[in-house]
Structure 1
Amino acid sequence: MTATTGWGVELQGVTQRYGDVTALDDVALTIRPGTITGLLGRNGSGKSTMGSLLAAFRRPTAGRVLVDGEDPWENERVVPGVCFVRESGDVLDDYTLKDNVAYLSGARPHFSHELAGELLELFELDLKRKPSKLSRGKRSAFGIVVGLASRAPLTILDEVHLGLDAPSRYAFYDALLADYAEHPRTVVLSSHLIDEVERLLEDVVVLDRGRVLIAQDAESLRAEGVSVTGPTAAVADFVAGRDVLATQRLGGTTQTTVRGALLEGDVRRARAAGLELGPVPLQDLFVHLTDPARTGGAATHAQGVDR
């Protein structure tokens, strides 16, 4: 087992149902090894369910999950190499943080006690305390300690920043980047704070109602969003036939967000028409692309369910 390049992930026609609720619907997806991939989606999109399947916490209703080329379910080689940390972590509430670290490090072949110590100090965590006695933010911080110090070939961090204040969140992002640079692995990072984590992401997967809406590298996705601002008639003429994501009007001025890279000729045409072109933040793209009014979706999917 090696953690130097990370493990790849492949989902082949994966469906996961909970009774009459479909959390994942015929998902086909590949996650590149050795990348930080953002797993984005509104509540109920299937993010946590996907993490559970990758970590072999459950088996899919249909389809096939592969981690490092193998089914992770009851796989003695793969399971120790997957670390799935959800909000506040999966810890032993009745034992001290010190006992938790001892227990968890025994289950993780690449666990770094040195890094764990640095992060415990960074987040001001007392090893003598029990998780049940910690605030929500401190529990989240301990989950981050576990997730990063495990240095698992596949590390899945599912909204682990919840409850942290802004300085602690940015300390987490910096610690993740620093250790990832020295010890590359595959990191799947789920977060609703897209504007904060955007700088970390190499690839992006967007789930919407249990389906994959987008799966591509972050740089090309950022390049696809363009805002067009100017006189309403000129904007309407320029965006005609394009994939319009959103439109805002103020008096005689309109700003329209479109998806699709512009050619050099498009840029010249826009300037000649007195239009202003600008980039679109990844978070704005995400909001527009997953707008229920745009995407629709059947009621049988996990709308409003935090899965």
Structure 2
Amino acid sequence: MTGFSVELRGVGVDFDRPALSGVDLTLAPGVVHGLLGRNGSGKTTLLSLLAAFRRPTHGKVLVDGEDPFENERVLEGTCFVRESGDVLGDENVKINLDFVESMRPAFDRAYAEEMLDQLEVPMRTKVESLSRGQRSAVGASLGLAARAPLTILDEVYLGMDAPSRYRFYQSLLVDYVEHPRTIVLSSHLIGELDRVLEHVTILHRGGVLLTDSAESLQARGSTLTGAAAAVDEVVAQLGIDVLARTVLGGTAQVTFVGMLGQDAHARVRSAGLELGPVPLQDLFVHLTDRSAAPADPAGSPEHHHAEEVDR
């Protein structure tokens, strides 16, 4: 499997207060990882450690088994792009491509130009004269085209409008399948990333709240969808703790954490309701709202089975 592995052991970063504390985290190579967290949770600080922009105050950071700081081999294989794009603002887009191509041996110029064309970015315009969305598109395109073994995208697509973001997600998935590497996406647009992420890590108040496969996380809960009256009746019968409820006309959907037993499944089927996976967005809000401090490993959610509802 290609791509760099990532390991953090007891990592802490102190500014005027701790930004990260006691972080133990392993990111497998060749996987699309999501790094999620509220503002101030420590996402950008953690990513800066992986890219060797700073050193930890405590603990150890390993990228592909080595300390990335002042490590030429690891740094050549790491591409860190933030929303600003970290590009030459006073030069046009074409010159930026020339510059990145000279620095990145695996850079795919044709792919970058294709992405920029799809995202409607003019090649002869100075980056500083582009719209915010176009500047984001430049950074995202250069980041993917670099084909780095560790590609880090920190909220890089926030400036794009919704159609551009979806084109970017699709391009990322297609290119990842053709050129596997380790990709770390940091974002608060969690609802848009359900279909992109393979593994999810949630940071909360400078610590790791949980880390697990996206599939396993979504299996922690479910949604019930159907006629509003039938949904409300089943929820009341089963005593389900509802995280979110939406209504459109006569149809309702509720999201809950927990696993349904056989009897509960039978009630759902007999009521004509549809059972689906829990959206990552709802699970994220639920977990971070109820958590007052970073979870310790013994008490973190990934070490507990969801309660089975079988009333």
Fold match (TM-score > 0.5): yes
SS in 1 for 2:70: coil
What amino acid does structure 2 have at the position aligned with 1:171? R
| Distance in 1 separating the partners of 2:195 and 2:173 | 10
User: What is the aligned counterpart of 1:261 among 237, 250, 259?
Assistant: 259
Deviation at 1:123, TM superposition (A): 1.8
The corresponding residue for 2:286 is 288
Q: Is the 8 A contact 1:204 1:218 kept in 2?
A: yes
Taking structure 1 as reference, are residues 127 and 61 closer, same or farther at Cα in structure 2, changes over 3 Å only? Answer: same
2:301 alignment counterpart: none
2:24 is paired with a residue whose SS is strand
State the distance in 1 between where 2:53 and 2:242 align. Answer: 37
Give the 3 Å change call, closer, same or farther, for CA 114–278 of structure 1 in structure 2: closer
Matches of 1:170 and 1:277, distance apart in 2: 26
Correspondence for 1:31: 27
Correspondence for 1:122: 118
Secondary structure in 1 aligned to 2:219? Answer: helix
AA of the residue aligned to 1:104: V
CA distance in structure 1 between the aligned counterparts of 2:139 and 2:246, rounded to whole angstroms: 44
Are 2:6 and 1:9 equivalent residues in the alignment? yes
Mean Cα deviation higher: 73-82 or 267-276:
267-276
Which of 234, 238, 246 is the matching residue for 1:235? 238
- For 1:130 and 1:201, the matched residues in 2 are separated by 33
Tell me the amino acid that sits aligned with residue 279 of structure 2: P
Using the alignment, how far apart are the partners of 2:142 and 2:246 within structure 1? 48
Partner of 1:78: helix, strand, or coil?
helix
Aligned to 2:191: 195
Query: Contact 2:92–2:126 at 8 Å: present in 1 too?
Result: yes
CA contact (8 A) 1:27 1:212 kept: yes
Partner of 1:137: 133
1:209-220 equivalences in 2 (<5 Å): 209-220=205-216
Query: 2:156, 2:246 → 1: CA distance?
Result: 38
Partner SS, residue 38 of structure 1: strand
Inter-CA distance 168–297: structure 2 relative to 1 (3 Å threshold): same
Partner of 1:15, secondary structure, is: strand
Amino acid at match of 2:175: D
Q: Shift in Å at residue 277 of structure 1? A: 5.3
Kindly report which structure 2 residues correspond to 1:129-208, keeping only aligned pairs within 5 A, or say none.
129-208=125-204
Distance 1:46 1:26 in 2: 12
Distance 1:45 1:38 in 2: 14
Q: What SS does the aligned partner of 1:7 have?
A: coil
Q: 1:245 to 1:75 in 2, by over 3 A?
A: farther
The equivalent residue for 1:77 is 73
Shift of 1:108: 1.7
Percent of paired sites with the same residue:
57
Separation in structure 1 between the aligned mates of residue 202 and residue 37 of structure 2, nearest angstrom? 6
Q: Which has the higher contact order (CA 8 A, sep 6+)?
A: 1
Label 1:66 to 1:261 Cα distance change in 2 as closer, same or farther (>3 A): farther
d(CA) in 2 for partners of 1:122, 1:227: 35
Contact 1:88 1:141 in 2 (8 A): no
Match of 2:100 in 1: 104
Gaps (5+ residues) in structure 2?
Answer: 225-230, 295-311
* 8 A contact 2:221–2:255 mirrored in 1: yes
Mapped to 1, the partners of 2:244 and 2:194 lie a distance apart of: 24
Q: Aligned residue for 1:246?
A: 243
CA contact (8 A) 1:194 1:282 kept: yes
Uncovered stretches (5+) of structure 1, i.e. residues with no partner:
299-307
Cα distance in 1 for residues equivalent to 2:273 and 2:116: 51
Partner of 2:15: 18
Q: SS state of the match for residue 73, structure 2?
A: coil
Root mean square deviation of aligned Cα: 2.6
Q: Distance in 1 between matches of 2:209 and 2:35?
A: 11
1:98: Cα distance to partner? Answer: 2.0
Aligned: 1:64 with 2:46: no
Distance across 2 between alignment mates of 1:182 and 1:276: 35
Which amino acid is the alignment partner of residue 6 of structure 1?
A: G
Work out whether residues 88 and 142 of structure 1, in 8 Å CA contact, stay in contact via their aligned partners in 2: no
Alpha-carbon shift at residue 51 of structure 1 (Å): 1.0
| Distance in 1 (alpha carbons) for counterparts of 2:75 and 2:279 | 36
TM-score normalised to structure 1 length: 0.83
Greater shift, 10-19 or 266-275, is seen at: 266-275
Q: 1:10 to 1:266 in 2, by over 3 A?
A: farther
- Paired residues in the alignment total 283
TM-score, normalised with respect to structure 2: 0.82
Moved more, 96-105 or 202-211: 96-105
Partner Cα distance (2:145, 2:245) in 1: 46
Flag the 1:207–1:269 CA change in 2: closer, same or farther, 3 A: same
Amino acid at match of 1:86: R
Answer yes or no: is the 8 Å Cα contact 1:51–1:156 preserved in 2.
Answer: yes
